Amino acid sequence: MFKCIPIFKGCNRQVEFVDKRHCSLPSVPEEILRYSRTLEELFLDANHIRDLPKNFFRLHRLRKLGLSDNEIARLPPDIQNFENLVELDVSRNDIPDIPDDIKHLQNLQVADFSSNPIPKLPAGFSQLKNLTVLGLNDMSLTTLPVDFGSLTQLESLELRENLLKHLPESIRQLTKLKRLDLGDNEIEELPPYLGYLPGLHELWLDHNQLERLPPEIGLLTNLTYLDVSENRLEKLPNEIGGLVNLTDLDLAQNLLETLPDGVAKLSRLTILKLDQNRLQKLNPTIGCCESMQELILTENFLSELPVSIGQMTKLSNLNVDRNALEYLPAEIGNCANLGVLSLRDNKLKRLPPELGNCTVLHVLDVSGNQLQYLPYTLVNLQLKAVWLSENQAQPLLTFQPDTDEATGEQVLTCFLLPQQEYQPITPDYPPGLLYRSSEKFDSSEFHVYQQKARELETDSDGWEEREASRTHSVKFSEESAQEKDTPFVRQNTPHPKELKAKAHKLFAKDRSRPEDGNLDTVSEEASTKFAVSGTARIGANST
């Protein structure tokens, strides 16, 4: 909560703290200067201050100074007068350079110069020996001072969004560094001496030009977070297995075709992101990452998942969208904690019945596949959403039990199964023709399709009989807690065009033979008859 402390002429001189953030100040209030002997903390962030007057630097006792998010155009050499300053924040201003005199702030521990158009650091910057937290994000830095490693007390260093291509070798002296952010730069090669930072816990290297990681990366045994996304990595060193404490690994948007066996040693890994790579096969040793909770494999070239995926019993989120999967291993049923499974835009023709063993699964997305049906075992799950089509209007549909003629096993089906998709309209394709993604258009096949469609239109009685034979629909298991009552009622999704055509045909029959001349009554009865025979509400009890 922001607060503004009023300053009156009659106040005594013992004021130690002033907070004037978000007060629309055009300049530094003159009243503040009266407390030069006692003021220790001054926060003027988020105002419209452009200049720092000379007498402002008489506040010799200042320990914390916040000037971020202003319009300051110059940081004068008088900054050296704040010799007791411990924390300084001048981020998000218009400061073009840092005066070399800043080297006199020997007590400075926390400093943030981010989001200023500063192209380089002054020579004396490396003399700030007590700095522990340093923010240099979103500047115009192209290099760091050769002696930058002299800042040996640094624990957190942020250099995101600069123009850095190389790091000075002296950076290996930052042995107390716990967090290093080099994201969004132009680094092409990671120096091996970066592996000699034993205290490093977080390393951000995303959005650079890296083509490889040095084997020394495996020496960072205390690393818990590593982000190397949006680079040009074609492979990983096997030594990455040395990151035994790693919990989060982001490798998205690279050129990886496979993973090294060393990944099997990442026993504490909980999140692995490999989306938008070139993976054709997932190393079976991935199953050794038994702590895995989130695995993202979107947009690769995977045709299968290893059976070892069943060893990831803690896996809660698995996303394999937009790959080339042809089947799922039955071992997926061993992922007892799987809650979200997304498999959209693959080549799946069936799902294993063992999927019903994933008792906490609540979201299943299989749209854009070639599924004929769903396994009946899904009725045991507390599913909140089953996505079968991009155009699906609601997360859950009405499913009916059926029997697979080929195997005799009980399955689930609905009006969106078997899965189909629309072929984009071209001169060779009649508008609206449904096709399977694996089939090519043939004109003779289309004539057969037309003939069958005409026969189906004239077979409304047979269609009604078949639909009526489905005596009940199924629902997924409910949670023990009762759902909240709601005054809103969601109407059933309208039938697709082919069912609508049958309905019109049925209505026409009934209209042609009214008994009492009341066409409205007859039409209403026919409509009710169609609705009962054709659909069932979600939640109808299974028999």
Task: Please give the structure tokens belonging to residue 462.
Answer: 């047979």
CA nearest to 476, candidates 539, 537, 413: 539
Give Cα 404 to chain centroid, integer Å.
37
For 27-155, strand residue ranges (E) read: 41-43, 64-66, 87-89, 110-112, 133-135
For 240-359, strand residue ranges (E) read: 248-250, 271-273, 294-296, 317-319, 340-342
Virtual torsion, Cα 307, 315, 199, 144, nearest 10 deg: 90
CA distances from 382 to 350, 447, 477, 478 (A): 20, 44, 5, 6
3-state secondary structure of 422: strand
3-state secondary structure of 451: helix
Contacts of 82 (CB under 8 A, 6+ apart): 57, 59, 60, 62, 65, 88, 105
Q: Answer whether 335's CB lies under 8 Å from 312's CB.
A: yes
Q: Is 26 exposed, middle or buried (0-12, 13-18, 19+ CB in 10 A)?
A: exposed
From its phi and psi, is residue 471 left (phi > 0), alpha (psi between -120 and 50) or beta?
alpha
Q: Answer whether 374's CB lies under 8 Å from 351's CB.
A: yes
CA nearest to 278, candidates 252, 300, 296: 300
- Residue 297: inside a domain: no
Q: Answer whether 499's CB lies under 8 Å from 415's CB.
A: yes
Task: Please give the structure tokens belonging to residue 441.
Answer: 């258009």
Q: What pLDDT score does 406 carry?
A: 87
Sign of CA dihedral 162, 163, 165, 167: negative
Place of tokens 């069912």: 499
Question: Can you name the residues that pair with 179 across neighbouring β-strands?
Answer: 156, 202
Contacts of 59 (CB under 8 A, 6+ apart): 32, 33, 35, 36, 39, 42, 82
CA–CA separation, 224 and 259 (whole Å): 19
Give Cα 144 to chain centroid, integer Å.
33
What residue type is 427 in one-letter code?
P
3-state secondary structure of 193: helix
CA–CA separation, 122 and 101 (whole Å): 9
- Residue 438: inside a domain: yes
Q: Answer whether 506's CB lies under 8 Å from 526's CB.
A: yes
- Residue 250: inside a domain: no
- Residue 429: inside a domain: yes
CA–CA separation, 536 and 490 (whole Å): 14
Q: What pLDDT score does 502 carry?
A: 54
Q: What pLDDT score does 471 carry?
A: 44
Structural domain boundaries, residue 442:
425-450
Structurally, the chain folds into a number of domains equal to 1
Q: pLDDT 10s per residue in the chain (543 long)? A: 334 444 444 445 589 999 999 999 999 999 998 998 999 999 999 999 999 999 999 999 999 999 999 999 999 999 999 999 999 999 999 999 999 999 999 999 999 999 999 999 999 999 999 999 999 999 999 999 999 999 999 999 999 999 999 999 999 999 999 999 999 999 999 999 999 999 999 999 999 999 999 999 999 999 999 999 999 999 999 999 999 999 999 999 999 999 999 999 999 999 999 999 999 999 999 999 999 999 999 999 999 999 999 999 999 999 999 999 999 999 999 999 999 999 999 999 999 999 999 999 999 999 999 999 999 999 999 999 999 999 999 999 999 999 998 889 999 999 999 998 544 444 444 433 333 333 333 434 434 444 444 444 444 444 444 443 444 566 676 655 444 444 444 445 444 555 555 555 555 545 444 444 333 333 333 333 323 333 333 333 333
pTM, two decimals, is 0.77
CA–CA separation, 523 and 515 (whole Å): 12
For residue 501, the surrounding DSSP H or E stretch is: helix 497-511
- Residue 86: inside a domain: no
CA distances from 467 to 249, 504, 529 (A): 51, 16, 11
CA–CA separation, 397 and 416 (whole Å): 9
Virtual torsion, Cα 396, 398, 402, 406, nearest 10 deg: -40
Q: Answer whether 173's CB lies under 8 Å from 149's CB.
A: yes
Q: What pLDDT score does 14 carry?
A: 81
CA distances from 24 to 4, 95, 536 (A): 11, 20, 62
For 76-123, strand residue ranges (E) read: 87-89, 110-112
CA–CA separation, 469 and 401 (whole Å): 11
Q: What pLDDT score does 430 carry?
A: 42
300-307's contacts with Cβ under 8 Å and 24+ in sequence apart are 300/274, 300/275, 300/276, 303/347, 304/329, 305/329, 305/332, 306/282, 307/331
- Residue 157: inside a domain: no
Place of tokens 């988020």: 46
- Residue 348: inside a domain: no
Q: What does DSSP say about strands 225-227 and 87-89: parallel, antiparallel, or unpaired?
A: unpaired
Q: What pLDDT score does 535 carry?
A: 36
CA distances from 9 to 4, 27, 35, 498 (A): 16, 18, 11, 84
Give the count of beta carbons closer than 10 Å to the beta carbon of residue 174: 23
Cα angle 345-347-349, degrees, rounded to a multiple of 5: 120
Q: What pLDDT score does 505 carry?
A: 54
- Residue 442: inside a domain: yes
CA–CA separation, 262 and 278 (whole Å): 19
Contacts of 407 (CB under 8 A, 6+ apart): none
Q: What does DSSP say about strands 133-135 and 421-422: parallel, antiparallel, or unpaired?
A: unpaired
